[in-house]
Chain A
Amino acid sequence: MTNAATAPLSRAAYLRSVAAAMGGGIIKAFNANKTSWVGLGGFLIVVLLAVLAPVIAPYDPLDQNILFRLKPPSAEHWLGTDFYGRDTLSRILWGARISLTIGLLAIGSAMVIGTLIGMVAGYFGGRTDIIVMQVMDVLLAFPSLILGLIVVAMMGPSVANLVIAIALTAVPPFARIARAPTIAVKNREFIEAGRALGYSDLRLMFGHILPNIAPEILVMGSLWLATAIRVEASLAFIGLGVSPPTATWGGMIREGFENILDSFWLALFPSLAILIVVFALNLLGDGLRDAIDPRLRGEE
């Protein structure tokens, strides 16, 4: 930003080359471990179903029909109905929207805040690094579900509070992940060169270090999205999810659990939904991590 006359052109060209390299790198990373494609496919299908829920859900997820209570799967209700006669399939489709919204918002914000904290700690080093990382370690000492549980219980179970609670537990791991490669990259020649040219710390951090550490952070993001969806479902199961009658997967399992002796499908289908999306994200993140981890390179 210090060199206003020449920066825009060279910067645009630079960013184009970074984007091209990253684009090629991403395809290569996916091809290195084919299960990543399976994971990505599975996840995108779930996202598509969630987005299209208002169009494809056969019934209104909140419509009660007392005459059709606790019906097993049938032609009218593919996945059966719950205690209030609501259609399980429609509730699972709508529930996906809640899980994905909370997961994406929580991990998106944790990724931005955690990466910033980690980069600042790693880039400036010294006392800043020690203090910041000590705070992160203290937060890491908390069992994340317990921390989430307390925050949501105290603040009330709304989408915003769930996002805050889950993001809070995910910030320290991102800070850790961003810090290590920042330290490794900051001493490389191209950063030295940038510094010699008088680039500001901000420009070096965001223009030059961030693109280099982005792949690792994005991979962590997909793995943590899986964790966030699991934690959201767990909180809903405990009774700390988005309030009923809104459909959430964890809440559906909780209701199904109360009727487990005679209507096991109520707990079974939302369980499978969570399992599918979390497994798909884990396949995606795990495959990509193998591809970008230099220690594992050449393994496939």
Chain B
Amino acid sequence: MTAFVLKRLGFAVITLFAVLTIVFFIVRVLPGDPAMAILGDQASQGALNALRARLGLDQPLYVQYFQFLGGVLVGDWGVSMVSGRPVIQEILKVLPATLELTFVSLVLGAAVGIPLGVWSAVRRNKLPDYITRIASLLGLSFPAFVSAVLLLLVFAIQLRWFPVISSGQGTTLSDRLRDLALPAINLGLIMAAYITRVSRSAMLEVLNQDYVRTAHAKGLAFATIIWRHCLRNALIPVVTVVGLYLGILIGNSVLTEIVFNRPGLGKLIIGALNQRDYTMLQGMMVIYTLIVVLVNLITDLTYGLIDPRIKYS
């Protein structure tokens, strides 16, 4: 177990290092001058040079690279080129809002998706199965911003059940839930579509196993067989997919935050892109990669909890 965890950790560190390198060079090599972006194209050459020197952009590329790597290691992710505040502080300020949205959507997606997938598999090739399959395919055909706009149109503008703009700053629990409801439903339903499909196919594989027939033969209750014996074995692919789709969920959360005008990493990254805030962009990529790598690690380690037969060898 320890060896497995260490191996996975090692791989996570290599991935992170590789991504940091790619991020650094993508941000630096592509066209666009941050000094000009900040000061505008009317700025004098002297002012531009002074700002480049202050930001360290006049240093050779390799010096900037090692400074960047060293900084990331000690938690110094530089200061925002636009606001002048430390990048890590700016990120940590909005990170909880994005994590809250992502986590609630994930829970919602699993709560809707797993039972639907199981139901669909049990009723295979019957009406509920067809409806579920078409609905889930439709669900994953929605670009997140399209479903967000439609939800906003129906529930916030026409029915007025929810606020059109969620502040994300609500203090009471009911305020927070009202703010969170539509964005979380939007992401949660798309996630549910993915989870339904993978739960269904994982259950279909398990339902044909010999031990399921044995369980039926010895007279176990149908519900016990499905929920205790089948689902537990079908969960591994579901967990893998949930881990894999986190990248999609993060991308979708950017779009959702924009439509619902919710504070979070999404709005931060769009602001950074518009202002060519290179240090902020680097920091955002670091945090996104950290999240993805961490979730992959947790996904791998979760297998053992679900299936005690996995020995991490």
Separation of A219 and B15 alpha carbons in the complex (Å): 29
Residues of B within 8 A of A (CB): 14-15, 18-19, 22, 26-27, 30-32, 124-125, 137-138, 140-146, 149-150, 152-153, 157, 201, 204-205, 247-248, 250-252, 254-255, 258-259, 269-270, 273, 281, 284-285, 288-289, 292-293, 296
Contacts A238-B258, A279-B137; is A142 near B281 (CB within 8 Å)?
Answer: no
Q: What are 5 A-B interface contacts by the 8 Å CB criterion?
A: A140-B247, A141-B247, A143-B250, A151-B30, A230-B141
Residues of A within 8 A of B (CB): 134-135, 137-138, 140-146, 149-151, 153-156, 226, 230, 233-234, 237-238, 240, 250, 253, 256-257, 260-261, 264, 267-268, 271, 274-275, 278-279, 282-283, 286, 295-296, 299-300
Shortest beta-carbon distance, B209 to chain A, in Å?
A: 13
Contacts A154-B31, A257-B259; is A145 near B251 (CB within 8 Å)?
Answer: yes
B144 touches A138 (CB 8 A): no
B251 touches A150 (CB 8 A): no
A267 touches B149 (CB 8 A): yes
| Top 3 A-B residue pairs of the complex, sorted by shortest distance between their CB atoms | A145-B251, A154-B30, A143-B247
B292 touches A141 (CB 8 A): yes
A153 touches B141 (CB 8 A): no
B32 touches A154 (CB 8 A): yes
Contacting residues, chain B, for A268 (C-beta < 8 A): 150, 153
A282 touches B140 (CB 8 A): yes
Other than the given A143-B288, A154-B31, A268-B153, 9 more pairs (CB < 8 A) read A138-B19, A145-B250, A146-B269, A237-B143, A250-B143, A260-B157, A268-B150, A282-B141, A286-B137
B143 touches A234 (CB 8 A): yes
B146 touches A283 (CB 8 A): no
B27 touches A154 (CB 8 A): yes
Contacting residues, chain A, for B124 (C-beta < 8 A): 299
Separation of A253 and B152 alpha carbons in the complex (Å): 13
Separation of A141 and B285 alpha carbons in the complex (Å): 11
Contacting residues, chain A, for B149 (C-beta < 8 A): 253, 256-257, 260, 267, 271
Q: Which of B152, B251, B258 contacts A143 (CB 8 A)?
A: B251
A142 touches B19 (CB 8 A): yes
